[in-house]
Each structure stands twice: as C-alpha cells, then as structure tokens.
Amino acid sequence: MKLGGFAGRILIVNLSTGETRYEPLDYGLAEKFLGGLGVSLKLYYDIVKPGVPPLSPENPVVLGTGPLVGTDLPATSRVYAITKLPQSKAVAWCGGGGMNFGCMLKNAGYDNVIIEGRSEKPVILKIFDDEVEILDAGDFWGKGVKDTCSRLWDTYGRPTGIITIGQAGENKVIFSMAYIEGAATMGRGGLGAVLGSKNLKAIIVKGSKGIQVADRKRYRSVRDRLLKTMREYPYLKEWQELGLMKSLPFFPMDLYKKVKKRRLACVSCPIGDKDVIEIKDGPLKGTVIRSTSMINLITPMVYGLKDYREAIKCVSILDDFGMDMFEFFGVLSFTKDLIEQGVIAPEQAQDKIKVDSLESVEIWAKKVCFRQGLGDLLAGGFNAILDTFGDMARPHAPYIIRGMLPYTGPRGPLPWELFGTMELGQSLDPRGPHVGASGSPTYFARRPLDQFPRHLRRMGAPEEAIERILPSLGSPEDEESLKVGRLLTYSHNWFSALGSLGICARAQINRFYNAETCSEAYSSVTGIETTKEELMMKAERVWNLLRIANVREGFARKDDTLPDKWFEAPPFKNYVTMKPITRQDAERMLEDYYDERGWDKRTGIPTKEKLAKLGLE
Amino acid sequence: MKRFLIEVRPELCTGCLRCELACSEVYTGAFNPSAARIKVQVSDNECSISFTEDCTYCGICVDHCFYDALKKRLEEKA
Ligand code: SF4
Ligand code: SF4
Ligand code: SF4
C-alpha cells in the first residue's frame, strides 16, 4: 500500500564504497514513529553500533522530512538530521527550517537519506530525482557557506535545495554547523564537523515527482481552516514584518528596517522570518548576509561590539566559516579570561583577544576555523580547554552543560532570568543546551497561570496532566503553583509531534496548530487514521526512543547537568514568585520531569513498564 | 471559469513557493513545484515571477500568496 504524504523511499549512500541505493520506506515504521524526526531517529537507532565515536565513519547521519513536508499546509518544511554529535557525544537531532531542501527531497522521491562511511576525498552528494551521484567536490572544498551556495545555484539553477558546511566543518571545529541554503542552521553541537569528517561538503537536491495526499477533500478542509485563521490573525502583518523580534520587545526596530533587504520563507511558510540583510552605509557597505533571524545578527553587541554594522559583519564571517556564534564567543571570552588570570601565557595566544573589536574577532575566527596556533585548542570547545588546563581553568569557566554554553540565563548572552521550560530544558537536551519554544507558554514571557490550560490543551496535554502541572490553579500562588518539570514533558512531546510531522515549531507558526489539527492533518495526508491521543502517544514514544538511544550510550541522570553557577548570584528566578531558584528546586523539577515521563527518578532511565506501554521494549 | 490579469510585485516575494504548490496540486493532483504554471526564482538580489504558456489565469496562486507579491487585477483577462 502506498501512503499519502510519504515519498515512500529511503536513499542509502555509503561514502566509503561510493555505493548508493534505495529501499522502500517500511510503512510499519511510519505508523509507529509518525515520520520525520521520529522515523529518522528509529532508522539511526537501528543501524548505529553503540559506542562509536561521533567523528568516525561508523557514525551515520540520517536526514529526514515528515509526511506533511512538501504539501501546502502552512510552514511544513522542517528537515532533521540524526547523528551522534561531537560536543555532547550524544545521539541528537539537529533541525532546521527546511527552506527548499525538504520539499525538494520529497519531490525527488525520498523521505530519508542515510549517509554512512567516509569518502576518501571531498565530495558533494547530488540527488536529482533518481539520478544520485557522488561528485568530486573539487575547489568547493575550502569555500565558505555563502560562496558554496551561490556557485551551486549558478550551476544547477533555483530552486535547488542545499545543505552545506563551511571551512569550520571541514576542519572539524567542534561547534561547526550545517547550513540549509545559507539561511537555516543545523546542529551547533557539531553537525558540521560530522559531515566534514565524512568529507561531505554539500548535499544538493531537486525533484519533480510530486507529493500526493491520501484524502484531498479532507486535506483541503484542514488546510483552508488553518489558512483562514492565519489570514484573519490581527498580528499577521506584524509577524511577517518582524518575525521573532516581535516577541523581544527590547529589539531596535529602526535599525532592522534600515538593513532589511528581502524577507525569505521556507517552502509553504506564510509567516516567513528569514532575512536577507544588507549594510547600507559606512566602511562595511555592501555586506549582504542571509539570516535565520536579525536577533542573531546583533548578538555580538552583547559582547561589546559597538556598531551594529560591525556586529552584522562579524556574524557574516562566522556564518560563512560555518560555526556557532554562541560557542565561538563563549570559548573566546573564556580564553581571554584565562590569559588575564595568568592560566594561559599571553605569548601562547600571539594575537591579543578583544571581543569588542571586529578586527580581533576576525583574526580569532580565522585562527579557530583553520586551527592555527591557540585557535586549534579553541576549536575543540570548552571541553578541550578544560581538559588542557583542568582545575586552574575551571573557576573561570562560564555556565557549561555537556561541554557547551547554555545561552539563556541571568548571565547568559541572551539574558533571561525566569526559570521555565526553556531553561530547565537546557539540562535535559542530549544535543547540549539549546533553547526552543516548543509551544511552551513560558517562552520569553511571563504569562499569567490561568492562561496555561489553554496552551496545554493545544499542545495535547491530557486534563489530568494539566492538574499536575498547575496543582493550585485558582488558589493563592506560591513556588509550587507551576510544575516546570511536568510542563516540560508535554512541551517536549508537542515538539516531537511537530517535528515528526514536519511542522515548524517557531512561535508564530506553532500557535496556529493544535494537537487536534495535527492529527486531522496527519490522517488526511497519510491515510493512517490517527486520533489526537494516538498522535501524542506516538510523539511520546519518539521522545522516549531518543532517551533510550542515549541510555544505550551510557547517559543517565548524571548527565542532565545543572551547572553550579546557575545558583550563584544573580540566580534564576521562580516563574511564579520571582524568588531565587536553588539547586534543590531545580533538582526537584528534574525529578518531576522523570516522574511525569514514567522514568526512574534516581537514574533518569525509562522504566521497563513505561517502555512496554509505549511498545519500545 | 473566471480569468484574471495577475500583477506581480517581485520585491515582496519571499520564495515560499505557496503559489507553485497550489497551482500544481490543482492541475496535476500532486504538490510539485516543477509542474506549476507559475515559476518563481528568488536570489538575494533578484526575484523573477513568470507564467508558463498553459497558465489559465485562474488566480488560485494569488489566493495562496500571503505576501502580496501576486495580485488579481480588477478587470478580467479577455
Ligand atoms: S517560521 Fe521561519 S523557520 Fe519556520 S517555516 Fe517559516 S521561515 Fe521557516
Ligand atoms: S493563474 Fe492558475 S494556472 Fe496560472 S499559475 Fe496561477 S494557479 Fe496556475
Ligand atoms: S506565494 Fe507569493 S511570496 Fe510565495 S513564492 Fe509565490 S509569489 Fe512569492
């Protein structure tokens, strides 16, 4: 039987042997793990041998798109990569707004691509319908992300979907990322290095097979309802204009208007929030950059760069090399402190580190990207620095979780002091500390608790769980009025549902979807009749699989790190009472999370009963 | 079927391909940008929007554009 929505095939590429072949997608797998994030994770879990090092040929990368990707349901474009990442050494998902890539991959006839082995020389994987080729990367190797994309488009035309790495990935910088068409990033925990270790510079896709849905009439009714709500949304224009900046009231809007050149959107997205930005004046005039969000472009100002044009230029340099800004600035500032503290001798650094000077940042970006001098150590991230300088360095380190910098926190680069799901989630994420909305009402906002049940129902949380999350709703509020750990469980499940279907999780999209719409969309597209409850159970199954994939690698509660520095002044604050959060408070939230999940509270490992219930034994 | 003159404003186009998805689905029964009768190409500096010869000027693509890059003109196409 052919299901709707799915392309129905998996492409398997072995870079060591040069062999490419495809297999039919096992529909049992799709039924059990929904698609996209879920199916990719299961494929990875089944083929990887536990214990393989992230940068070895034995660590495969599984790319995947969900069954809704390629349809015109709003913002269904997500692309996922599952692999073991070098920063956290855990099995993790990397995801990005798929631009053209997801739609093109599906149209080429593939739901997933499994990339195994390591090529002897640098290559580009070309997937144009049934024509799959491993091409010599030639002089693409050594080029930045921007150059690589524009030359590929010049050769193959638009729209061609492109995933590429920059020189940082080639040189296996531990915080190098992969980029989708220069406008979306994937895997700041080192997906770039994983692809670089395989000598895979880029993947290009184009397809013309078409994607059919199972029940056109029912599909149209779900779609039209969604589109109507979006059209009638009073803030539509504002969201289209400002994107994520709308949720950050402190953002300098005039500045944005000055540099905005074009809005970009992933395929099918009615509220696109990607930008082409151009510096219009001054010595950096003419610099053009694609960005996932203007917010990122001015982040270097947090580190002291005074001029927004210099900040934009700085991000454009890092993006072109293909490495994560937060980690880069994190290790650079840390190294600077270690030099000031006398732990590292200034001669070792050769060039002075000034994080507030574009010139200095550029020098150091090059040193890290090309692993020159002390840059080689920085390219190994916080762990490499701590391994080298040990106890002398430790007291000067910032917050660190799984070797990476959690970027929201009272002293994080994105300063935020309320301890909600996004903050606790930084400890539980196998990728290392990432932040994401996942539809949670605590995302960069302090919403009153009585608004929570509506959000939670939308995210598919059952009524009895809502009572556990908000045990004293309607009574006077105290520290225990909001159970952040329990809430995070449903926030993760909701993310897992969206990711497996292929829907973007960003706030402006997420808000229009609810569990019921998702199950209706999934049923009408695939023909697999799925209730809201079934959908959320499968999403929960996917999240549990992610956990057991990591338990198999030796991860457990001990790795769900709550950094000591989180509890020093200035501390995080309780979401309801604004009282400082203590370590005990945070530990309790972790335990609430495990408990809500049916995991062992001591070890953080899913119990046998839970796994049996989810059909994961 | 009603037919429209379609005005394009490439400077507002985001490359979301909603127009191509809708057109291809209506006329071929499958979402397939390569089979759409409207062709959109967006780069950082330029955008071109054109229609193939078999475009029927039905205006469905316009209904699916959220960014005002396509507009139906009041007078119908002859
Ligand atoms: S909201 Fe942004 S990331 Fe999400 S689909 Fe739209 S353009 Fe892509
Ligand atoms: S007017 Fe109709 S036929 Fe022409 S491109 Fe638009 S949807 Fe297709
Ligand atoms: S729907 Fe509108 S914005 Fe999107 S690609 Fe077509 S013309 Fe451009």
Residue A547 counted as domain residue? yes
The CA distance from A320 to the nearest CA of chain B, in Å, is: 15
Closest CA to A542 of A9, A24, A30, A5: A30
| Higher pLDDT, residue A457 or A408 | A457
Q: Which of B13, B14, B23, B47 to mutate to test the interface with A (most CBs of A within 10 A)?
A: B14
The confidence band for A407, taking pLDDT boundaries of 50, 70 and 90, is confident
Same domain, A388 and A426: no
- The predicted-structure confidence for B60-78, as pLDDT tens digits, reads as follows 999 999 999 999 986 665 5
Name the token pair of A370. 């090309």
Tell me if B47 CB under 6 Å of ligand 2: no
Mean pLDDT, range A420-437, rounded to an integer: 86
Domain that holds residue A109: 9-206
In a domain, A401, yes or no: no
Q: Are residues A109 and A253 in the same domain?
A: no
- Ligand 1 contact via A504 beta carbon (within 6 Å): yes
Q: Are residues A441 and A575 in the same domain?
A: yes
Q: Is A605 helix (H, G, I), strand (E, B) or coil?
A: coil
Reported as a pLDDT band with limits 50, 70 and 90, residue A248 is low
Domain boundaries, chain B: 4-74
Residue A75 in contact with ligand 1 by CB distance below 6 A:
yes
Over residues A498-534, the pLDDT tens digits come to: 999 999 998 889 999 999 999 999 999 999 999 999 9
Same domain for A27 and A68? yes
Nearest neighbour of B28 by CB, restricted to A210, A227, A267: A210
**In A, residues 311-340, which contact B (CB 8 Å cutoff)?**
none
A318 Cβ contact list (under 8 Å, min separation 6): A324, A325, A328, A365
Count of residues making up chain B: 78
* Cis geometry, peptide bond prior to residue A346 (ω within 30 degrees of 0): no
Neighbour-count burial of A27, counting CB atoms closer than 10 A to its CB (0-12 exposed, 13-18 middle, 19+ buried)? middle
Residues forming a β-bridge with A580: A573
User: Minimum-distance ligand to the CA of B9?
Assistant: 3
Report the pLDDT averaged over residues A454-467: 96
Is B50 close to ligand 3, i.e. is its CB under 6 Å away? no
Residue A363 in this model has a pLDDT that exceeds 60 = yes
**Is A272 near ligand 1, meaning CB less than 6 Å away?**
yes
User: ω into residue A159 within 30 of 0, thus cis?
Assistant: yes
Residue A223 lies in a domain: no
> Do A333 and A303 touch, CB atoms closer than 8 A?
yes
Is the pLDDT reported for residue A387 higher than 80? yes
B17 pocket-lining for ligand 2 (C-beta < 6 Å)? no
Whether A192 is in a domain gets the answer: yes
Are residues A250 and A132 part of one domain? no
Assess whether A101 and A249 both reside in one domain: no
State how far the Cα of A80 lies from the Cα of A355, in Å rounded to an integer. Answer: 33
Q: Give the residue whose CA is nearest to atom 3 of ligand 1.
A: A97
If you measure from the C-alpha of residue B42 to the centroid of ligand 3, how many angstroms do you get, rounded to a whole number?
10
* Residue A231 is assigned to a structural domain of this protein: no
Q: What is the mean pLDDT of chain A?
A: 94
**Which tens digit of pLDDT belongs to each residue from A343-358?**
999 999 899 999 999 9
CA distance A571 to A98: 37
Which pair of structure tokens corresponds to residue A235? 């803030």
Q: Please answer whether residues A104 and A206 qualify as being in contact, where contact means their C-beta atoms are separated by less than 8 angstroms.
A: yes
* Domain endpoint, select from A206, A235, A257: A206
Q: Whose CA is nearest to atom 5 of ligand 1?
A: A75
| pLDDT of A447 over the 90 cut | no
**Once rounded to an integer, what is the mean pLDDT over residues B1-13?**
90
Please give the Cα distance from A297 to A309 (Å, whole number): 9
pLDDT of residue A380: 98
- Domain boundary among the residues A206, A236, A258 is at A206
- Band of pLDDT at residue A241, cut at 50, 70 and 90: confident
Choose the mutation target among A147, A230, A262, A276 for the interface with B, i.e. most B CBs under 10 Å: A262
C-alpha A506 – ligand 1 centre gap (Å): 7
- B34–A107 C-beta distance less than 8 A: yes
For A93-136, how does the pLDDT look when each residue is reduced to its tens digit (9 = 90+)?
999 888 999 999 999 999 999 999 999 999 999 999 999 999 99
Q: How confident is the model at residue A252 (pLDDT cuts 50, 70, 90)?
A: confident
Rounded alpha-carbon distances, angstroms, from residue A476 to A29, A93, A469 = 47, 40, 15
pLDDT (0 to 100) of residue A301: 86
Strands (E), A436-506: none
CB of A266 shorter than 6 A to ligand 1: yes
Q: What is the pLDDT of residues A269-327, one digit of tens each?
A: 999 999 999 999 999 999 999 988 777 888 888 888 888 899 999 999 999 999 999 99
Nearest Cα to A487, choosing from A453, A436, A447, A515? Answer: A453
Residue with CA nearest ligand 2 atom 3: B55
Ligand 2: which atom is nearest the Cα of residue B60?
Answer: 7
Report the distance separating Cα A391 and Cα A377, nearest Å. 17
Task: Determine the distance in angstroms separating the CA of A605 from the nearest CA of chain B, rounded to an integer.
Answer: 42
**Residue A56: what pLDDT?**
98
Residue A234 lies in a domain: no
Mean pLDDT for the stretch of residues A459-470: 97
Q: Are residues A178 and A279 in the same domain?
A: no
Q: Which residue of chain B has the CA closest to A181?
A: B43
- Residue of the nearest CA to atom 1 in ligand 1? A272
**Residue A428 shares a structural domain with residue A288:** no
Task: Give me ligand 2 centre to Cα B67, in Å.
Answer: 17
CB proximity A268 to B under 8 Å: yes
Whether A343 is covered by a domain: the verdict is yes
Residue A608: per-residue pLDDT: 97
Percent pLDDT > 90 in chain A is: 83
- Last residue of some domain: A159, A191, A206? A206
The tokens describing A213, both together, are: 């849905």
Our count of domains for chain A comes to 4
- In chain A, what residues touch B14 (CB-CB under 8 Å)? 262-265, 269, 272
What does the pLDDT look like over A229-240, one tens digit per residue? Answer: 999 999 999 888
Return d(Cα A551, Cα A557) in angstroms, integer: 10
- Given the CA of residue B14, which atom of ligand 1 is nearest to it? 7
Which residue in B16, B22, B31 is closest to A269 by CB distance?
B16
Indicate whether residue B60 lines ligand 2 (CB < 6 A): yes
A137 phi and psi, to 5 degrees? Answer: -75, -15
Residue partners of A341: CB distance under 8 A and separation at least 6: A396
Q: Which residues, other chains included, contact B53 with Cβ-Cβ below 8 Å and sequence gap of 6+?
A: none
- Indicate whether A258 pLDDT > 90: no
Same domain membership, residue A253 and residue A191: no
pLDDT at A546: 98
Is B21 close to A267, i.e. CB distance below 8 A?
yes
pLDDT of residue A249 exceeding 70: no
Looking at CATH, the fold of the domain delimited by B4-74 is given as Alpha-Beta Plaits (3.30.70)
In a domain, A272, yes or no: yes
Ligand 1 atom showing the smallest separation from residue A505 Cα: 4
Name the band, by pLDDT with cuts 50, 70 and 90, for residue A51. Answer: very high
Counted residue by residue, chain A has a size of 617
Chain A touched by B18 (CB under 8 Å):
yes
Read off the CATH number of the domain in which A518 is found: 1.10.599.10
- Token reading at B14: 């985001």
Q: Are residues A379 and A272 in the same domain?
A: no
Given an 8 Å threshold on Cβ–Cβ distance, is B17 in contact with A230? no
Q: What is the pLDDT of residues B47-60, one digit of tens each?
A: 999 999 999 999 99
